[in-house]
Chain A
């Protein structure tokens, strides 16, 4: 593999507080040198002209569903990672709700095998309990050794206090974070959207805010009892749950959280006349909750933007609203939406915005040498034009599934090239 010299871009590396015009040399899969434009001499290197572009660490998404093993008709590791590369991502963490559930080192290793054809780095997340049934803990040390970076029963939250406590203890022992999809499913039976006046008008059963915040509060209470444990709240969507995280953090607990772009871009009105492309779990919430997500991002409470990329086949979404599966793809729209909303509309500085998509999520799940352009770190880089306006078309998506609510949306900030491990994995 030839070295790559990326010249004259605006280098943004939030982990190191770098924001300057510079050249960047990638060699043997690592960041090899950074210097003022024109200063790096690298004979035989391929050149990339990055004038007018931001050169940032490859983006990191700690919450994706790649659907393999078991549901290759929705997405495969190969297609999902290509969509990720097109969105500027170089590392994704794959949720364990596959078929079978990723609760064994064999499945973890299968996901990591070269035969899967991943275009970028994949980090499997282990189930917390056998089959994600919420009953029997699995061997976290073995899962970690196989490559898992966290444990969760995502989608099937751990409700029992005893089992959650045991999970936190066992995960702390091996140094893995526990990710919780915070939904008290005892309160959400038959629910397909956020509770409130919109749900009443549409005649749909609604999930209350408390079904999320109640479980977050419970988990925080349990976290306080376990030394060294790390709780990460997945796709947080309500002000009340965010307040609980904010408060816990103030009292020194190791709790982190992520927010999905759709939860700070859309509110429940987007469902319109039962558009299943606006159905996800957690559901789109009221406008006040959407605003609270923005606020939590701006004030630093939110550690990461994660897409919860959840592809589904067209025939699955073309059903009655209550019967359609939850989730939307998000990898190819995350950067454009984040830049348009957080940077353009809410004036969030670009370096802080980038950190939410790279260095901070990488640190939440302890992904070494990812999300940064430190010398010696992985040669994972995204080049994007922060001022280019473009329109996203679902038909152009590299994901197998097109169930996005953002089809036809104009956004600002477009990926030009994605480099993973020193290799160009996407370019337009």
Chain B
């Protein structure tokens, strides 16, 4: 029978057969519940620490930010997180580097490693890009969003936001910590790496995830992503069941010919004041950003008392500090 056997023989075995550094974070499913708990606890510890002391954690360690897509929140918060731990950071973006000249991701990664980078934070328009970078460099790679695949640090900061709203301590994170909690993720699920990461993480903690949106943006196969996920096409019905609502923007840049009646879309799926007041007056309203006001969410909701949008951004820095400390394996970070 054909079967995979040892690859010892192969001296040029394919890149994809090479290992990924274990302190990488590429998919949220890489983390056990225990690891999630330790990352959240470390985030809190680092956030509370005196800035002078905190800056010793990764003193003079070298962190490269490799961004092939534009980003405001993620890039800035990773950068601030690295700097507040004392690391030196360098930003390489596709428009101001040899990437423009056609340098491959593999070669860019090897170049950054030769320049002393000890950890690379990657944002890529291509799903799976971080695996390639991790396999090519052997360095810990933090996925800052890859194509339509995942955005695991976003899922962790979203979890931190939810736990605070629900008044749960991170130390309590365990298999049933979110039992009884329903989270609706609404909008362009198909193209959303944030949706995938959250939908894979939250049910691990006992939450029920409702994915909501029209068929072209939410195919039926999405329900097979993992356990604890259901599809609901009626937004109002989903809202009435939810303690937490996460809105997503329509990713115009990834629609690839998909046609959408925006008038019909906003009528059915927009989070506006009237709808939220009627169906989810107490729910926490989240959005990973960037928000398109007047499209998936209106200003009264985005800026209203139920909105956690700014809090999500703030939590991003703490979570990313913890991920960097974990990735670079300082003595303290090694605990995470």
Interaction A to B: yes
**Residues in A neighbouring B80, C-beta threshold 8 A:** none
- How many residue pairs at the A-B interface have CB separations less than 8 Å? 124
**Residues in A neighbouring B136, C-beta threshold 8 A:** 318
Q: Which of chain B's residues has its CB closest to A402's CB?
A: B12
- Give the docked Cα–Cα distance between A336 and B148 (Å): 37
Q: Judge whether A320 and B126 touch: CB under 8 Å.
A: yes
**Residues in A neighbouring B124, C-beta threshold 8 A:** 320
Q: Judge whether B128 and A321 touch: CB under 8 Å.
A: yes
Q: Judge whether B225 and A200 touch: CB under 8 Å.
A: yes
**Residues in B neighbouring A201, C-beta threshold 8 A:** 196, 225
A383 at the B interface (CB under 8 A):
no
Q: Judge whether A203 and B196 touch: CB under 8 Å.
A: yes
Mask for A203-247, Cβ within 8 A of B = 1, else 0? 111000000000000000000000000000000000000000000
Q: Judge whether B3 and A204 touch: CB under 8 Å.
A: no
Mask for A397-413, Cβ within 8 A of B = 1, else 0? 00000110011111110
Q: Which of A96-135 contact B (CB under 8 A)?
A: none
Q: Which of A310-351 contact B (CB under 8 A)?
A: 314-315, 317-323, 336-337, 340-341, 344-345
Q: Judge whether B196 and A395 touch: CB under 8 Å.
A: no
- Give the docked Cα–Cα distance between A314 and B190 (Å): 31
Q: Judge whether A202 and B149 touch: CB under 8 Å.
A: yes
Q: Judge whether A318 and B104 touch: CB under 8 Å.
A: yes
Number of chain A interface residues as a range = 35 or more
**Residues in A neighbouring B147, C-beta threshold 8 A:** 203-204, 322
Q: Judge whether A403 and B127 touch: CB under 8 Å.
A: no
B152 at the A interface (CB under 8 A):
no
Q: Which of chain B's residues has its CB closest to A277's CB?
A: B14
Checking A315, A395, A409 against B3 with a beta-carbon cut-off of 8 angstroms, the contacting residue is: A409
Q: Judge whether A408 and B2 touch: CB under 8 Å.
A: no
B4 at the A interface (CB under 8 A):
yes
Mask for B128-162, Cβ within 8 A of A = 1, else 0? 11011000100000000011111000000000000
- Give the docked Cα–Cα distance between A264 and B206 (Å): 39
Checking B132, B148, B193 against A319 with a beta-carbon cut-off of 8 angstroms, the contacting residue is: B132
B6 at the A interface (CB under 8 A):
yes
Centre residue among A197, A265, A274, A402 by max chain B CB count within 10 A: A274
Mask for B1-20, Cβ within 8 A of A = 1, else 0? 11111110111111111001
Q: Judge whether A408 and B4 touch: CB under 8 Å.
A: yes
Q: Which of chain B's residues has its CB closest to A199's CB?
A: B221
B252 at the A interface (CB under 8 A):
no
- Give the docked Cα–Cα distance between A407 and B7 (Å): 8
**Residues in A neighbouring B216, C-beta threshold 8 A:** none
**Residues of B near any A CB (own CB < 8 A):** 1-7, 9-17, 20, 104-106, 124, 126-129, 131-132, 136, 146-150, 190, 193, 196, 219, 221-222, 224-225, 256-257
Q: Which 9 A-B pairs have the closest CB atoms?
A: A274-B128, A203-B148, A203-B149, A320-B126, A203-B127, A197-B224, A275-B16, A408-B7, A197-B221
The 7 sampled A-B contact pairs (Cβ below 8 Å) are: A199-B221, A277-B14, A317-B14, A318-B15, A394-B14, A395-B12, A409-B5
16 new A-B contacts, CB < 8 A, other than A273-B128, A274-B128, A411-B2, are A200-B222, A201-B225, A203-B146, A203-B149, A203-B193, A272-B16, A314-B12, A319-B106, A322-B147, A394-B14, A408-B7, A408-B10, A408-B13, A409-B2, A409-B3, A410-B3
